[in-house]
């Protein structure tokens, strides 16, 4: 079966997941993003690449931060952006996801940015568009259930390449709640595709998927051992709703074992970079001294995130 994200010319048609995307596509996205980081520093931060296009931010799950990054990216490309917070409207009226999509397509949508609590919702949309012959309409997954968050994975790769240049000599550790993290899945797939030889995951057994080793990673439950000599530390966000759950003793306990402190970070290479997808829970998964310290590249991640989203949007619109 053809990769549903690529068109018949092998170009990016949708961005649904990192999984299965060839290395050339990932690299092309990162290469396309590079000049967009310079646009953001100009006096007039506008490019006409998506002028007259209608981009719909379809957020079935509330996320002001992620929605904002896509809104900025689309506006800097001169698109018309329409924000739809769907939980409060059509779905409440009993309309199905695909009826909503059909309607917005009938309004001549050009691109959907979708956040949904159900894994696979963006795939369902892409498959439906293909079935309807609507090949000129593109879907970007902005996070679906526990499944994927590909633009986050891509901006993380952009950040690593920016600071470390060569993926093929790196040791990278991903730390925290691997079980519930769509971010971690996208990161692992991207790191593997780009040739990172050593990918480690660190976390308590209760927050580690049982089949994680199938993804080609080394599993650590001791954080100091896991961080030993790594070049990149990628912290995951601990969802508030997990903190009260049965899987964890308490935020304090979690911090003791898996919170990134300067002392634990000392196990990594001295020039290791520290990443976090945000928003941070300071004092839970990361200590402020590290979050604001010299190894952190958490804010550059945000900046690169806009450029990467502009790159994805412009590649989709051009395909």
Decide if residue 303 touches a copy of itself (CB under 8 A).
Answer: yes
CB of 93 to a copy of itself, least distance (A): 5
**Closer Cβ to a copy of itself, 43 or 211, answer by number:** 43
Decide if residue 156 touches a copy of itself (CB under 8 A).
Answer: no
CA–CA separation, 258 and 251 (whole Å): 10
CA–CA separation, 47 and 293 (whole Å): 34
- The residues, any chain, with a CB within 8 Å of residue 96's CB and separated by 6 or more, are none
Decide if residue 88 touches a copy of itself (CB under 8 A).
Answer: yes
Decide if residue 133 touches a copy of itself (CB under 8 A).
Answer: no
20-59 binders of a copy of itself (CB under 8 A): 40-46, 51-54
**Closer Cβ to a copy of itself, 68 or 119, answer by number:** 68
Residue 123, both tokens: 């795939």
Decide if residue 3 touches a copy of itself (CB under 8 A).
Answer: no
Are residues 59 and 86 in contact, defined by beta-carbon separation less than 8 angstroms?
yes
Among 82, 130, 247, 267, binds a copy of itself (CB under 8 A): 82
Q: Burial of 79 by CB count in 10 Å (0-12 exposed, 13-18 middle, 19+ buried)?
A: buried
Among 15, 19, 33, 76, binds a copy of itself (CB under 8 A): 76
Decide if residue 115 touches a copy of itself (CB under 8 A).
Answer: no
Decide if residue 102 touches a copy of itself (CB under 8 A).
Answer: yes
Q: Where are the alpha helices (DSSP H) in the chain?
A: 23-39, 64-76, 97-106, 121-131, 150-164, 182-193, 223-227, 240-243, 251-258, 262-265, 288-291, 298-318
Decide if residue 130 touches a copy of itself (CB under 8 A).
Answer: no
For the window 181-210, what string marks contact with a copy of itself as x by the rule CB under 8 A?
------------------------------
CA–CA separation, 316 and 96 (whole Å): 26
Decide if residue 84 touches a copy of itself (CB under 8 A).
Answer: yes
Are residues 113 and 70 in contact, defined by beta-carbon separation less than 8 angstroms?
yes
CB atoms within 10 A of CB 261: 14
Binding residues (CB under 8 A) for a copy of itself: these are 40-46, 51-54, 62-65, 68-69, 71-72, 75-76, 80, 82, 84-86, 88-90, 93-96, 99-100, 102-108, 240, 278-282, 299-303, 305-306
């Amino acid at each position: 079966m053809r990769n549903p994200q690529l068109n018949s010319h092998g170009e990016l048609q949708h961005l649904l997941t990192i999984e299965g995307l060839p290395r050339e596509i990932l690299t092309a996205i990162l290469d396309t993003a590079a000049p967009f980081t310079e646009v953001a520093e100009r006096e007039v931060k506008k490019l006409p690449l998506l002028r007259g296009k209608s981009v719909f931010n379809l957020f079935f799950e509330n996320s002001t931060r992620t929605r904002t990054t896509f809104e900025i990216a689309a506006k800097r490309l001169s698109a018309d952006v329409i924000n739809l917070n769907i939980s409060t409207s059509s779905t409440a009226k009993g309309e199905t996801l695909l009826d909503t999509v059909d309607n917005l397509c009938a309004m001549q949508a050009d691109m959907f940015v979708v956040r949904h609590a159900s894994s696979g919702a963006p795939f369902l949309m892409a498959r439906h568009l293909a079935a309807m012959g609507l090949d000129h309409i593109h879907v970007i997954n902005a996070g679906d259930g526990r499944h994927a968050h590909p633009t986050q994975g891509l901006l993380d790769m952009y950040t690593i390449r920016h600071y470390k240049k060569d993926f093929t000599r790196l040791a990278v550790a991903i730390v925290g709640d691997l079980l519930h993290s769509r971010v971690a899945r996208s990161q692992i797939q991207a790191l593997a595709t780009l040739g990172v030889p050593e990918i480690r995951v660190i976390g308590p057994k209760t927050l580690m998927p049982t089949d994680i080793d199938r993804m080609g990673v080394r599993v650590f439950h001791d954080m100091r051992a896991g961080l030993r000599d790594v070049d990149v530390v990628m912290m995951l966000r601990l969802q508030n709703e997990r903190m009260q759950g049965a899987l964890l003793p308490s935020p304090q306990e979690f911090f003791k074992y898996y919170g990134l402190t300067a002392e634990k970070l000392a196990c990594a290479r001295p020039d290791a970079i520290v990443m976090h997808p945000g928003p941070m829970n300071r004092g839970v998964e990361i200590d402020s001294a590290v979050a604001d310290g010299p190894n952190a590249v958490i804010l550059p991640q945000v900046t690169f995130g806009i450029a990467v989203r502009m790159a994805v949007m412009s590649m989709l619109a051009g395909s």
